[in-house]
Structure 1
């Protein structure tokens, strides 16, 4: 156990810098998911309109994933690209505080989501290129802690900021986090892959096999279901007359429990089957949706949030699987596809959840999500067993 926190293949300075950058980005994204539905509700939007608004934001995340993967593999100047994306978001987040119309607000939010996704993808790629194969689970799991820790911090400060300074103060403080990211980037080391010959570049692109797409589909379904809570919980608590501070507070309380899980899961994934760990995370999310369906007091919402937050722990494990088995020259595109399965799941979830709530009610929508999560675990389990028997080729590039 003495090597639990020790990472040898990536310098401590590099890992800490990448972690801080990721943490500050996740504070913005988690703050958005906590408070923007409430803000839209105050503007008179109905659940379906709020869902469509968040879906547009997550389509921005998907777009950013693809842009980052292509730019990373094409130009190999990842630190420069990361600096540009973060600089744009400093001004983007600041501008949100002065948006005069809802349409303008949606456009600016989408832009922030796009460049947040570009930034996170580049951070992930830099980490993957810096870590050795035997420690990728631990490195990606450590970075994934930023997701849960960002939720804790966002839950603790976002409602407090809105209650005391309004949304202008809320956006100003978040923008200062992006300024800090620019300073942290000064110590980040770039990582380049040896360029391939022109002949290789013009040949047919590598093909990912059936198991790869089974994994992406199950990942998409699992995250789509867990994202139902991001829209449903604020509306559910607002209907029960909880104030913004209480709504964001349950996110902080619930996420504290799950903060160490991504790192623990990453460490375990270097020693045991990564696929079963992903299945555990999706099942945990399904249980969280069931608990949320019957929640009416703070501790119940916090417990459901803790269970749902465990889904984020699967991100680092999945990234480790992809990085193990995809050639470095294709890593940017492969990780972007994996990240896009999460954000596409979010876009589908937000677009559909609002309508589902109007049709089935919040509790009924959560139950549907739990059933779909079980289907996703069945897909992964069946695919894993078939792969072990040799009926599906090893994940990778054929």
Structure 2
């Protein structure tokens, strides 16, 4: 449990550092005389950095160990977030956010793999979900802290605070997390970092389920990126005051935390695949309905909470699903690539949403289109459940068809599956 708590703290810092630019953007733009286009490039630099961080750090963590790469990711995040406090231009800030983003994206596969491998098979999915709740919680808590201090101390102090937190967590990581993952010695490590890693990740029958999983992840993250970015604006356009409309994204994320907590209790009993596919399917129906009540005041906020519980809550289980789909020897790579694909969806979502809003589509039509992305997510996760390789060490697979074949018959006739 101590290991899970340390990883939870890392995810809180990751969530805060990822979104801190959103918190201070108005002050920063005014102080550095940054226009909207330049500010967009600053945001983009950080997001692109997190994509590359997940792609690169995951395979390296499989090769050289989870803890060393987590320490490197935290140092990179801390140092370059601190440096942002001294940036004098949009270009320098974008470059610093890109490099810092490498660490932000690289920390996630390491902590997800560490949490999965320090737990029993029965508790693995639940603990990974609970650990990952630290990300939105860090954003919520960090936003509250930022609101309390940024007007008094200025925007540079927020970057100093975020970088300091990232460096401070190095101490519990060194003291609590073991130098090797609990299950790391049971499977051979990759002979090279990148040479055969693609083949290893997709080997042993994982090609179809991995592609389905990544497709579902991308679809749902596109939808989430759209909702989080534009919901306050859409609510405001439909007669809700700006201060209340701004709560739309908060309600969505609070619903996500609640949904993830509920899902963690369910997946501890039956595994994550079926419940998450159902959650996304329910989310599709709720998004469709949201387009018809968006101007109904409090009813819209209640629906937003439910959408967040199904969609954002389901998305918070993605690292848990990845930790179940990919075995120990490629687990960090599989999680890292999954999260990188999710980050791409978070970038694409606002872009696609902006294009659709510019077409001035009726809201019921817009949300009907949006609901299709949630449906695609449900279909992707459902296909993973049907096509993933079965693991006899996994309690949820004990009654699967492939596990029902008597062991002597397997050894005599089939050797290896």
CA distance in 2, matches of 1:36, 1:296: 30
Shift of 1:234: 5.3
Shift of 1:393: 6.0
CA distance in 1, matches of 2:304, 2:242: 16
- 1:1-398 mapped onto 2 (5 Å cutoff): 12-33=1-22, 36=25, 43-45=34-36, 54-76=43-65, 78-190=66-178, 191-192=180-181, 193-194=184-185, 196=188, 205-206=199-200, 207=203, 208-233=206-231, 235=233, 242=242, 251-252=249-250, 254-272=252-270, 274-283=272-281, 285-286=283-284, 287=286, 291=290, 294=294, 300=300, 304=304, 307-308=307-308, 310-315=310-315, 317-360=317-360, 363=363, 366-381=367-382, 383=383, 387=386, 392=387, 394=389
Q: Is the 8 A contact 1:225 1:373 kept in 2?
A: yes
* Structure 1 residues 200 and 342: alpha-carbon distance in aligned structure 2, compared to 1, 3 A threshold: closer
* Structure 1 residues 199 and 341: alpha-carbon distance in aligned structure 2, compared to 1, 3 A threshold: closer
User: Which structure 2 segments of 5+ residues have no match?
Assistant: 392-415
- Listed one character per residue, the Cα deviations across residues 87-114 of structure 1 (whole Å, up to 9, x for unaligned) are 2222222222332222222222222222
CA distance in 1, matches of 2:142, 2:306: 15
* Structure 1 residues 203 and 52: alpha-carbon distance in aligned structure 2, compared to 1, 3 A threshold: closer
Q: Is the 8 A contact 2:77 2:163 kept in 1?
A: yes
* Structure 1 residues 21 and 384: alpha-carbon distance in aligned structure 2, compared to 1, 3 A threshold: closer
Pairwise CA RMSD: 3.8
Greater shift in the superposed pair: 340-349 or 137-146: 340-349
SS of equivalent to 1:58: helix
Shift of 1:170: 2.5
* Structure 1 residues 366 and 30: alpha-carbon distance in aligned structure 2, compared to 1, 3 A threshold: farther
Shift of 1:217: 0.2
CA distance in 2, matches of 1:51, 1:108: 14
Tell me the equivalent position of 1:3. none
Shift of 1:305: 5.7
Q: Is the 8 A contact 1:223 1:346 kept in 2?
A: yes
Larger Rg: 2
Shift of 1:203: 7.3
Q: Is the 8 A contact 2:259 2:314 kept in 1?
A: no
Greater shift in the superposed pair: 355-364 or 54-63: 355-364
* Structure 1 residues 106 and 308: alpha-carbon distance in aligned structure 2, compared to 1, 3 A threshold: farther
Shift of 1:18: 1.5
Q: Is the 8 A contact 1:70 1:332 kept in 2?
A: yes
CA distance in 1, matches of 2:190, 2:74: 31
Shift of 1:394: 3.5
CA distance in 1, matches of 2:93, 2:236: 22
Greater shift in the superposed pair: 192-201 or 62-71: 192-201
SS of equivalent to 2:264: helix
Shift of 1:79: 2.0
SS of equivalent to 2:169: helix
Shift of 1:267: 2.8
Q: Is the 8 A contact 1:138 1:267 kept in 2?
A: yes
* Structure 1 residues 172 and 259: alpha-carbon distance in aligned structure 2, compared to 1, 3 A threshold: same
CA distance in 1, matches of 2:273, 2:359: 35
CA distance in 1, matches of 2:196, 2:161: 48
Q: Is the 8 A contact 2:222 2:349 kept in 1?
A: yes
CA distance in 2, matches of 1:393, 1:174: 39
- Listed one character per residue, the Cα deviations across residues 260-303 of structure 1 (whole Å, up to 9, x for unaligned) are 43243123113225223222443455435864882586884586
TM-score in terms of structure 2 length: 0.75
TM-score in terms of structure 1 length: 0.78
CA distance in 2, matches of 1:40, 1:236: 24
Greater shift in the superposed pair: 229-238 or 62-71: 229-238
